[in-house]
Amino acid sequence: MIFSSISRQNYPEWLLAAVYASPNPKTRDELLDNLEDIAHNNHMPRLLAGDFNDHTGLKEKRSFSTNQNLNQSQSHGQKFVTHINNCKLMDLGYTGPSLTWSNNIQGWAKTLSHLDRALYNAEWRTRFPEGFARNLPRILQPFTYASLHPWQAPV
């Protein structure tokens, strides 16, 4: 997470955090615990945006895999919601595609999730009532050696 103080002449200062949460649940929990500490010790307007690598519930995840543990997935989602609530943050919502991540596996093993989001506190929303987030469409381009180094492409 990178925190930055944003200031402009004749406007109040606010905090912006660019977030990339680890896919490792233990490391991700450490980040969320740090966010709670920041929330309890700082009441400035703040916006946190990025990849939180977690979803808030089953409505934010689509998978046809029979290997998916629904109870575990729901438990992780509830834990994330608890952290968001403890930080007194709200989801800004979005326009654009809802499922922002894919495991890039085709067929029945494909999983899609809503992992990217923007979260704000009440002070931020009061100052920026028209703020919004837009999810850009995912563009999937298969990785090939030739696409990186055409002069060395296998024959």
Rounded Cα distance between 60 and 31, Å, is 21
- pLDDT (tens digit, 0 to 9) for every residue of the chain, 155 residues total? 999 999 989 888 999 999 999 999 899 999 999 999 999 998 899 999 999 999 898 888 888 765 555 555 566 678 899 999 999 999 999 999 888 888 888 888 888 888 899 999 999 999 999 999 998 887 755 544 444 444 444 44
Q: What is the pTM of this model?
A: 0.79
Cα separation values, 138 from 104, 131, 141, Å: 11, 22, 10
